[in-house]
C-alpha cells in the first residue's frame, strides 16, 4: 500500500488541503488545491489565491481551506462530481468569491471555463485544458510557472480513473490524455502532477503514458473477452477485471460500458 497523502505545502505556488473523505473512489480523500504567487522572497505573499475543487459540503474542511486561501479571487471546479463540487456554493459564500466550471449550471457569478483560456490572478497564470472523458465537463489546469498539471480525476495520484459511462466516454478520454501529454511536453523540465485524489507525482508525462498504455491493454482484453463469448458488461468485468478487488467492479462496469461503446463506434 502506498503512503497516504495528507496534503500541505507542495511548492512555492501550491498547497493542498486534503479532505477527510477517504473511499474507494476518493482514495485518501479529495485534494483541494490553493494556488498563489510567491513574493520575491519565495514566501506566500498577500496576493489573492485560486482555489480548485473545494470538495464536499464539509464545514470544517471548507474553513480549513479558507484559513489558508483567503483572500480568494476565484473558485474553479475540475468536474461535476459531488466529491469536488458539493461544498462549492458554501465555500463561495464563506470566501465571497465566484465559482467557475465548464458546466454553466455549476458557475456562480461568473462565466463558464473555456478551453485554451488563461486565468490570471495576482501573478498566477493558469491555462485551461478541456479534458473530457472521466465526465463530459472535466477540465485540467496547467500551472506553467510551477511546472505542474492539476488533473482533477482525469489522471489520479494512484491507480487509474473511471470513465464514468454514460457521462464519460473513452474516445474523448484518450484524446484528452494525448492533449495533456502535449501540454506537459510544452513545458521546460519535468512537470509534476497535482491530482484530484492521491499524492503529488514527480513526472506527469510518464503517468499519462502509463494511463494510455493501460487503456490500450484493457481494450485488447475486452476485445479478447468478446471474442471468447462474453455477452454483457458484467461478463467482461468478471473476465478482464479478475485482478481487481470485486468492491471496485461496479466502477469497472462503468468503464467497460464506455469501452464497449468505444469499440462499437470506432
Stretch that binds Zn ion, among 3-11, 78-86, 102-110, 245-253 (CB under 5 A): 78-86
Spatial separation of the C-alpha atoms in residues 150 and 140, rounded to whole Å:
6
Cell numbers at 53, concatenated: 475543487
- Please count the residues of this chain forming the interface with Zn ion, following the rule CB under 5 A: 2
Please report how close the Cβ of residue 70 comes to Zn ion at its closest, in angstroms: 24
Nearer to Zn ion, 77 or 143 (CB): 77
**Strand pairing of 124-130 and 139-143?**
antiparallel
Please report how close the Cβ of residue 263 comes to Zn ion at its closest, in angstroms: 26
Cα angle vertex 137, ends 169, 76, to 5°?
Answer: 145
Interaction between residue 153 and Zn ion (CB under 5 A): yes
Please report how close the Cβ of residue 157 comes to Zn ion at its closest, in angstroms: 11
Nearer to Zn ion, 24 or 242 (CB): 24
Contact 237, 256 (CB under 8 A): yes
Interaction between residue 83 and Zn ion (CB under 5 A): yes
Spatial separation of the C-alpha atoms in residues 177 and 34, rounded to whole Å:
24
Please report how close the Cβ of residue 153 comes to Zn ion at its closest, in angstroms: 4
b/e 91-122 (16+ beta carbons within 10 angstroms → b): bbebbebbbbbbbeebbeeeeebeeeeebebe
Q: Per-residue x/- mask for Zn ion, residues 178 to 217, rule CB under 5 A?
A: ----------------------------------------
Q: Per-residue x/- mask for Zn ion, residues 34 to 73, rule CB under 5 A?
A: ----------------------------------------
Please report how close the Cβ of residue 176 comes to Zn ion at its closest, in angstroms: 16
Nearer to Zn ion, 36 or 134 (CB): 134
Strands (E), 88-230: 99-100, 118-121, 124-130, 139-143, 148-152, 192-195
Binding site for Zn ion (CB under 5 A): 83, 153
Amino acid at each position: 500500500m502506498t503512503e497516504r497523502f495528507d496534503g500541505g505545502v507542495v511548492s512555492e505556488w501550491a498547497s493542498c488541503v486534503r479532505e477527510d473523505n477517504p473511499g474507494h473512489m476518493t482514495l485518501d480523500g479529495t485534494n483541494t488545491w490553493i494556488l498563489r504567487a510567491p513574493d520575491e522572497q519565495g514566501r506566500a505573499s498577500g496576493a489573492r489565491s485560486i482555489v480548485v475543487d473545494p470538495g464536499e459540503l464539509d464545514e470544517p474542511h471548507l474553513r480549513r481551506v479558507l484559513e489558508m486561501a483567503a483572500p480568494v479571487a476565484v473558485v474553479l471546479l475540475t468536474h461535476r462530481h459531488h466529491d469536488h463540487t458539493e461544498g462549492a456554493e458554501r465555500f463561495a459564500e464563506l470566501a465571497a468569491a465566484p465559482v467557475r466550471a465548464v458546466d454553466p449550471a455549476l458557475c456562480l457569478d461568473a462565466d463558464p471555463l473555456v478551453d485554451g483560456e488563461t486565468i490570471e490572478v495576482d501573478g498566477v497564470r493558469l491555462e485551461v485544458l478541456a479534458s473530457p472523458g472521466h465526465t463530459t465537463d472535466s477540465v485540467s489546469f496547467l500551472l506553467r510557472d510551477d511546472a505542474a498539471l492539476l488533473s482533477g480525476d482525469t489522471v489520479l495520484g494512484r491507480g487509474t480513473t473511471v470513465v464514468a459511462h454514460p457521462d464519460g466516454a473513452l474516445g474523448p478520454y484518450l484524446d484528452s490524455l494525448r492533449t495533456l501529454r502535449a501540454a506537459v511536453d510544452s513545458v521546460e523540465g519535468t512537470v509534476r502532477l497535482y491530482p484530484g485524489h492521491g499524492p503529488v507525482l514527480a513526472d506527469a508525462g510518464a503517468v499519462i503514458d502509463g494511463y494510455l498504455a493501460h487503456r490500450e491493454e484493457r481494450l485488447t482484453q475486452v476485445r479478447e473477452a468478446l471474442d471468447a463469448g462474453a455477452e454483457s458488461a458484467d461478463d467482461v468485468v468478471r473476465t478482464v477485471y479478475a485482478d481487481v478487488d470485486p468492491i471496485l467492479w461496479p466502477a469497472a462496469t462503468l468503464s467497460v460500458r464506455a469501452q464497449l461503446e468505444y469499440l462499437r463506434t470506432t
